[in-house]
A = this chain, B = another copy of it.
Amino acid sequence: LASKKVKLYFEPDGKRVEANAGEKILDVARIAGIFIESLCGGQGICGKCRVIVEKCAAGAPTEAELKHLSQKELEKKFRLACSCRVHGDCQILIPKESRGGRQRVVVEGVEAPFDLDPAISSLALKLSVPTLQRPMTDMDRVFEALIGNFGLRNVSIDYEVLKKLPDLLRTGGETVTAKIWRNSEIIDVRQGVEDGNYGLAVDIGTTKLGMQLVDLSSGKVLASVGMINPQVVFGEDIMTRASHVIERYETLEELRQAVLKGINELIDDCCRRAGVESSSILEATVVGNTVMHHIFLGICPKYLVMSPFVPAIKNPLNLKARQLGLKVSRSANVHILPVIAGFVGADAVADMLAVRLNRIEELSLLIDVGTNGEIMLGNKDRILAVSCAAGPAFEGAEIKYGMRATSGAIEKIAIEPETFEVSYRTVDNLDPRGICGSGLIDAVAEMFRTGIVDASGRIRDDLKTWRIRKGEEGAEFIVVPKRETKSGIDLSVTQKDIRELQLAKAAMYTGAYVLMKRMGVSAKDLDKVFIAGAFGTYIDKTKALMIGLFPDIALEKVSSVGNTALAGAKAALISKQARREAAEIAEKVDYVELTSDPDFPDEFIKAMALPHQELSRFASVKALLASTRIN
């Protein structure tokens, strides 16, 4: 029976795929390259891989399906692709909400303040001609010109460049251009005078890949591109991906190949847009959290997620593009920025580099909001860093109608305090399909402001509005009624969703609190708060303060700095000084293990309240509530 073949017809892709009877739909789809949203990597946890299975001898609903699908949905033939096994030919409809779509990827960040000073230089060399009397080797003629014209000694040559040297020196004129890396290694030789050098800044996010192609002679960005990290099919968060590797070691290489494929597609994309040959890309910088960093390098991430959570290496690395499989010049140097700890990675180093936390006078709090949030506190004198396991709420996972910030995600919400009428905005202004992280913060802040939830986060059951009702998972607030949604389902924020957000924001706040305590400062001492990360760009800072995501300080001190991970990677790409400072940062930062702080449990519980159990810590929110709350 195991060898019986069945045919699956995927709609709207229109793809026909042969599978073995008994296989799971998600596995079949993955192999066939058909995208079905899955946040948990097929573990039956997230309930996002909903598909409609028609004309099929499918197995009975599993426990996971019974948990995630209502009776009505089951009647409509909804199934979870991760759980449903096919035993006969069938047609599978992937509804819009399970199709992902092109996620908005923010690649812009602040411009980091570094002067143009890249690792690559172009030196035009006029070579002498070898004769029988003076039979100089190809290499010696190049060395002679480097010393004679530029005083450059002790330069080596990349092996791949050496191999092409004999023909190259004889098929052009007497002038060649050597591309020199850090004045120490020839990494390319071109005929004639040729100044064009290009570089790539790469940010490997857990969910998103961001990339910029940069002209290294001007520092100008020629193309900015982004995409979903193809690893998401293995699981939305780093813990899930690492656990796959722990179960089956070969997954490490599959994960590495997945992200590499994505990066190489982005390289193609950049090169097409800018009209640049990929072989002219001679340098790249890469940042990412420590798990992404390890997987990209092919280092097992197992010990990053097991106590005491130590990386294999912190130090910055320089590797050849060919060692990593990047489709740029094979001799290009890839500079991987240093990491700080198992949960504070090269992306956090890049964040700090982008705002130059290591050089500024002002005491600053730098917050990168995410599933694994990182918080840094300090200035030129001292920097502390902490990692906060906020959980997946900010990315829309574990949230009933949560989704990533793709087309149709509700990202802004306002609630009219008297009528509870809701106005909202979606990504790309498409019909609402779900609620993304910034939308959820807005929703809960507005529900709190308008008294729909109380300070403990409980949805009040005494308000007279059709929007509040008892759902399958307890009380819920209907944000968009089914008449306004294409799926014909009410989009709501449930009591459970609010609890998830409370956990997430409490983790972030507690992280900041513990750092301030260790530093011996309080919120009033903070000169600046930077909210970093693509996600941070969309957060309404007033609403975020309202729920107590970060300490209460004057909002004019709070600024969104965008994708600082990529901005930091770009800074390291165009400036050797930035690389030195990144290494300094990694050395300098004191990593604080949040959960081992004695105050953590109490502080965490107090931070669960909206905005906080000690309202005195949030004087400005208290004032705001007093002025607007009417219920």
**Contact for A137 among B163, B167, B307, B310, CB less than 8 A:** B310
Q: Is A396 an interface residue (CB 8 A)?
A: no
**Contact for A312 among B137, B299, B307, CB less than 8 A:** B137
Proximity bits, A480-508, B CB within 8 Å = 1, else 0: 00000000000000000000000000000
Residue pair B135, A341 in contact (C-beta under 8 Å): yes
Number of copies: 2
Given contacts A163-B298, A298-B163, contact A138 B596 (CB under 8 A): no
Chain B positions within 8 Å of A162 at CB level: 297, 299, 312-313
Proximity bits, A144-173, B CB within 8 Å = 1, else 0: 000000000000010100110111001000
Chain B positions within 8 Å of A136 at CB level: 310
Proximity bits, A303-321, B CB within 8 Å = 1, else 0: 1000111111111010100
Chain A contacts with B in 267-314, Cβ cutoff 8 A:
297-300, 302-303, 307-314
Residue pair A314, B140 in contact (C-beta under 8 Å): yes
Residue pair A593, B297 in contact (C-beta under 8 Å): no
Q: Is A626 an interface residue (CB 8 A)?
A: no
Give the Cβ gap from A570 to chain B, nearest Cβ, in Å: 24
Residue pair A159, B596 in contact (C-beta under 8 Å): no
Give the Cβ gap from A140 to chain B, nearest Cβ, in Å: 7
Residue pair B163, A297 in contact (C-beta under 8 Å): yes
Q: Is A419 an interface residue (CB 8 A)?
A: no
Chain B positions within 8 Å of A319 at CB level: 159
**Contact for A313 among B137, B307, B315, CB less than 8 A:** B137
Residue pair A166, B132 in contact (C-beta under 8 Å): no
Chain B positions within 8 Å of A591 at CB level: 135
Give the Cβ gap from A346 to chain B, nearest Cβ, in Å: 13
Q: Is A3 an interface residue (CB 8 A)?
A: no
Residue pair B299, A163 in contact (C-beta under 8 Å): yes
Chain B positions within 8 Å of A323 at CB level: 159
Proximity bits, A541-576, B CB within 8 Å = 1, else 0: 000000000000000000000000000000000000
Chain A contacts with B in 338-386, Cβ cutoff 8 A:
341-342
Q: Is A616 an interface residue (CB 8 A)?
A: no
Give bound CA distance, A157 to B159, whole Å: 19
Given contacts A132-B308, A133-B596, A319-B159, contact A139 B300 (CB under 8 A): no
Chain B positions within 8 Å of A310 at CB level: 130, 135-138
Q: Is A627 an interface residue (CB 8 A)?
A: no
Q: Is A631 an interface residue (CB 8 A)?
A: no
Residue pair A165, B308 in contact (C-beta under 8 Å): no
Give the Cβ gap from A475 to chain B, nearest Cβ, in Å: 39
Chain B positions within 8 Å of A307 at CB level: 132
Give the Cβ gap from A166 to chain B, nearest Cβ, in Å: 5
Residue pair B309, A593 in contact (C-beta under 8 Å): no
Give the Cβ gap from A144 to chain B, nearest Cβ, in Å: 12
Chain B positions within 8 Å of A593 at CB level: 132-133, 135
Chain B positions within 8 Å of A166 at CB level: 299-300, 302-303, 312
Q: Would you give 11 A-B contacts (Cβ < 8 Å), ordered by A?
A: A130-B308, A130-B310, A131-B308, A132-B309, A132-B596, A135-B341, A139-B312, A163-B300, A165-B312, A166-B303, A166-B312
